[in-house]
Amino acid sequence: MDDISLTTTSEDGFDTQSVIGDFALAIDPMEETGPNPVAVLVADYASCFLPAVRVGAQKAGYDDLGQMEIDASATLNDEDHLDAIEFTLKVEADVEDPDELAALGEEECHVHAALREGLHADITVEDDAF
């Protein structure tokens, strides 16, 4: 049995509707009915990385980090393939070693582990951000 299953449908044109359990996600490379697939990949990565930082920090004995946010950006090459991803991780708490948070997130994030090494996000951490 698969651990993850979903159905993605395109009735016409280029836009798609992915149904994952009880959730539907519209994705459109033309960006008319939803975000493009590469933007969704970057959002998926950030959406995995943020809670991964919390999990890693809890395991490492950190106190509550408070509000956190990732500003993500990506660059495409001449063929519109994903070339680089950058994260700025903003953390409400004042932490002694902000770079350790990035390492903890990298250890716990399943999307990070799934991407080829050359495409892993370059991460900047801004603590005491809120």
Residue ranges matching CATH 3.30.300.20 in the chain = 37-126
Q: What is the pTM of this model?
A: 0.88
Instruction: Give the chain's largest Cα–Cα span.
Output: 53
CATH of 37-126, one of 3.30.300.20, 3.30.365.10, 3.40.50.740, 3.40.50.880: 3.30.300.20
Residue 51: which pLDDT band, with cuts at 50, 70 and 90? very high
Start-to-end CA distance of the chain, whole Å, equals 44
Residue 119: which pLDDT band, with cuts at 50, 70 and 90? confident
Res. 1: pLDDT tops 80: no
Percent of the chain with pLDDT over 90: 82
As a whole number of angstroms, the distance between CA 18 and CA 45 comes to 17
